Amino acid sequence: MTPARLRPSLRGTAPATTVERAAWSAGLGVVVGIDEVGRGAWAGPLTVAALAVPQGRRITRVRDSKMLTAAERESLFDPITTWALAWGVGHVSPAECDELGMSEAQRLGAQRALDTLGVVPDLILVDGRWDFVGDAAGAAEVRTMVGGDAASLSIAAASVVAKVTRDRMMRVEAEHFPAYNFEHNKGYPCAQHRAALAGRGPTTIHRRSWSYMDALPWTGQPRTHPGGSQGVLFS
């Protein structure tokens, strides 16, 4: 698929390779960006993508996934994954998010993404303030970058891969659960999603430990908590 034409509002907002080039100059050959999507969703997986940027090969039109439309992200997926030195995606199921809690779920997603990467990183760049890669980094250096998905090409590319991969999964789930409008909300909170929960309760892909469970006007399963303890449903 040919990448969509860049909208005028996105010109001048390209992520840089400043950190990556400095790392390569310092002898760190494999630089990997990591980003996640789905942390705030009520339904569906948490998805983490890891992507190694190649030296000496360029790509254009990549931006932080949040700046792009769905069509723009889709049009960039194949060019990004073809251009990348290596890439991998790790998914954490809703049940695992409930059991582990979000912090541990992010760590598990990062581990799974790096396990499928196929190369050994020398430097890992993580969007945000918190290093959720932890021990999964092995001998690699980990640097957190606030606003990294907009500033670093490796993180921005990873953000697109994570978002497109998860969105595709949620469109498939929408066929199984048509009342929840997953093809549009991707499992995130919205009025129609809230109404479907109130009328039908959670599906098999909903996270049962999220606080929305406390407010459901029905007497189904109670809210769960990480570690398997049961909460009390508010009715």
The model's pLDDT over 129-182, given as tens digits with 9 standing for 90+, comes to 999 999 999 999 999 999 998 899 999 999 999 999 999 999 999 999 999 999
Region 203-215 average pLDDT: 88
Give CA–CA dist 149/84, Å, rounded.
16
pLDDT in tens, 51-95: 999 999 999 999 999 999 999 999 999 999 999 999 999 999 999
**DSSP, res 27:** T
| CB of 144 closer than 8 Å to CB of 137 | no
The neighbouring-strand residues paired with 35 are 49
* 215-229 confidence digits (pLDDT tens): 776 546 667 777 644
Single-letter amino acid code for the residue at 153: L
Tell me if the pTM is above 0.85. yes
Domains observed in the chain: 8-173 (3.30.420.10)
Q: Is the dihedral of CA 98, 101, 106, 111 positive or negative?
A: negative
Q: Kindly state the DSSP code that residue 210 receives in the 8-state scheme.
A: S
pLDDT-derived band at 235, boundaries 50, 70, 90: very low
